[in-house]
Amino acid sequence: MSETTDRFRDRVSRNAEGTPYVVTPTSEGFDVGIDIVDARWFELYEKVGLSRTVVHHVAVDGTTYTVNDDSRTLEWAAGSPRLGATLERSTGRKHELSFQKTVAVSDRGRVEKVVDYTFSSEEGRRLISTAAQEEGLEERMPLNAKIGLWVAILVIVVMLIGFPVAFALGKV
């Protein structure tokens, strides 16, 4: 690990204090994700039935860094969380937003908000980007995001060329 990576990781860890996010060192840099086993947040996760989580894989190379978002499904069994391998798992740049607001009879016997929860994948990303800005690091797009972008551009180009050609040949 480089000194830059260590400083960056430590700064993200300080920014994450008091939040449900935890920073974990990896061989390429570090991961930032929701700490699903922390007792302070456990009741909230279980009560709202948190079903998606995003782990941000951060890699540092000199003065640049990449963030690869890894979206996962969270399953609850017998009141305890477990991450399961699922076909819905995806990586790249993810923007996920979910919320739940429920008004019902509470444990105290009053009608009140019993669930008021919002999840945004950008919360964890903000911890990273704020620390990167403070460290003077610049974000680069990860390889899988570049590939996805080029595939999307290629599909658009093929459609822009293919449809007029097919129309001209009377195939559409």
Structure tokens at 147: 């590939």
Task: Write out 30-64 in H/E/C secondary structure.
Answer: EEEEECCCCHHHHHHHHHHCCCEEEEEEEEEECCE
Q: Give me the mean pLDDT over the 103-123 stretch.
A: 70
Mean pLDDT (whole number) for 128-135:
92
Report whether 148 contacts 69 (CB < 8 A).
Answer: no
Structure confidence by residue, pLDDT tens digits, 39-92: 566 665 666 566 667 888 999 988 899 988 887 776 655 555 555 544 444 555
Q: Tell which wins on pLDDT, 5 or 119.
A: 5
Does the model's pTM come out above 0.95? no
The residues, any chain, with a CB within 8 Å of residue 114's CB and separated by 6 or more, are 47, 102, 103, 104, 105, 106
Report pLDDT for 133. 92
